[in-house]
Chain A
């Protein structure tokens, strides 16, 4: 079956531009997560959805970052007025269960964002 897909795979933006990153989770997966991974570092949590509800956005680094999942399936991470420090790989993950204790997360290939 299809895994988690993300688009675009690569995005180059000029500083100050807005970008939108898309995530298609595995069909039927209730939970969806966004992570940011800087070069040479481990992924860092950004935000979490259960169906269409954004239950945790504590990892979003600033109010320039916004995520939505309006129909409980596809999610979009939007970054407004991009800055060079936003350059990173943005990973999306989904998991099947609502229960959060013993969940395996399935990751997409990521979107590599480069801000010039």
Chain B
């Protein structure tokens, strides 16, 4: 399978803690993207990291990419209850996105 595989499948933390989610993949990529999906809502694009980038920041989000290990991680710092959602990594394969099964994050107030 070319899809990304997220780890862990579920994560429960307290507000204020950091959350780290990992994504591994098997094929070469142009870029890797992270999306968030709240319960019952559509997917929201969070951040895109290109294959020649190693780290990228956006607000409380930090994404790393290790192409030699074919893995990426998403770090959410100082989590909030509103961060509760499912998080997906997605590989860009000729324009279409190949999603993993996601990490379900629960942030308890």
* Residues of chain A having any CB pair with chain B under 8 Å: 4, 31, 33, 35, 40-45, 48, 56, 59, 91, 93, 100-110
Contacts and interface: CB of A to CB of B under 8 A. Distances in A.
A43 B99 contact: yes
Contacts of B92: 100-103
Interface in B75-109: 88, 90, 92, 94-102
B95 A42 contact: no
- Describe A's contact surface by its main secondary structure: loop
Given A104-B45, A105-B45, 14 more contacts: A33-B97, A35-B97, A42-B100, A43-B99, A45-B96, A48-B95, A48-B96, A91-B43, A102-B50, A103-B92, A103-B95, A104-B48, A107-B45, A109-B41
Contacts of B100: 42
